[in-house]
Amino acid sequence: MTKNIRRAGLIDRLTMLRTHNSEIETEDRLARHAEPLPPGQLGKLTKVYRDLLDAIGEDSTREGLVRTPARAARAMEFLTQGYRQSVEEIVNNAIFDSDASEIILVKDIELYSLCEHHLLPFIGRAHVAYIPNGKVIGLSKVARIVDVFARRLQIQENLTTQIAESLMKCLEPGGVAVVVEAKHLCMMMRGVEKQNSLMKTSCLLGSFKDDARTRSEFLSLLKE
């Protein structure tokens, strides 16, 4: 009996420790990548979610929901952190001299964004390629640039263009190509409710747009 009580107490302490560490890691990750919302704004957002729960007929004071507005506010703070980031800060001088002159492609960069029409997620992958012009960028920075624009209210068409144009501006390469493919919950969960639809968008700049052979090579690399 005593052993069971001690074991239960240990499990409770470990669970609390894991939860606490998880919250710290989430806050630390947010702090490293973006400025948090001001306390007043976070409080306003919390109230909005509480009013939302009441508006749909829920009781925002019941046990299961009493902390939901604050959690939802924190989640929205994270999901929209791109508004408080800039490409210049993300790149942080991680551009290096290089003699490379062939296509550099980073495939299958996971992205999660929110549709600006319904505030529902769209989830997919970005494929980003560029042709160096004496400079290359740190590999992880390409993924971070994708996140800067994905962590905003978006439409996929604009997201694709923003990623390409920002890389073109900061790196000044011979060309940039971006392809984004994503599934949209605003189309899957509501409206036409089509579960297998996939949207693909592209933005080709520089030699990827002007040179058919370069464009063909990029498309071939995507298929591999």
117 is catalytic: yes
Is 148 exposed, middle or buried (CB count within 10 Å of its CB: 0-12, 13-18, 19+)? Answer: buried
Catalytic residue chosen out of the listed positions 58, 77, 118, 165: 118
Catalytic residue chosen out of the listed positions 85, 115, 127, 162: 115
- Measured distance CA(113)–CA(127) in Å, rounded: 16
184 is catalytic: yes
Whether residue 168 contacts residue 121, with contact meaning beta carbons closer than 8 Å, is answered with no
Handedness of CA 33, 38, 39, 41 (dihedral sign): negative
Catalytic residue chosen out of the listed positions 25, 35, 116, 157: 116
Catalytic residue chosen out of the listed positions 81, 85, 127, 184: 184
118 is catalytic: yes
156 is catalytic: yes
Catalytic residue chosen out of the listed positions 85, 156, 162, 203: 156
116 is catalytic: yes
Whether residue 71 contacts residue 24, with contact meaning beta carbons closer than 8 Å, is answered with no
Where in the sequence numbering do the catalytic residues fall?
A: 115-118, 156, 184, 186
